[in-house]
Amino acid sequence: MNCPKHPESTQTQSCLSCGTDICGLCKNPQGKVAKICAACLKSEGISSESLSPKVKAKLCLSLALVLSILIMAYYYVDMSIKAQP
């Protein structure tokens, strides 16, 4: 089992739609349809690179929230270390 586009890839899966072998580089990165090849996505009229503005906004807000939490945790740990005698 080798990917037709990346023959050097050894870890492949079958596309759920057409059964073609696909590797990790060929899989669609968008969660629910990750095991569908790009050709099947295009035939369905779905672009793997385009995200709606609403989804992009949610991703940006989620990233901002995670970064804020990490920054607060860093300062909390830093202050607790400095407060120890």
Distance CA 65, CA 60 (A): 9
What does each C-alpha distance from 80 to 7, 14, 51, 71 come to in angstroms? Answer: 53, 51, 42, 14
pTM above 0.75, yes or no: no
Q: What is the mean pLDDT of the chain?
A: 76
How many percent of the chain have pLDDT more than 90?
20
What does the pLDDT look like over 22-54, one tens digit per residue? 777 776 655 455 567 777 777 766 554 566 677
Every domain of the chain and the residues it spans: 1-48, 51-85
Q: Residue 72: what pLDDT?
A: 95
Q: Residue 62: what pLDDT?
A: 93
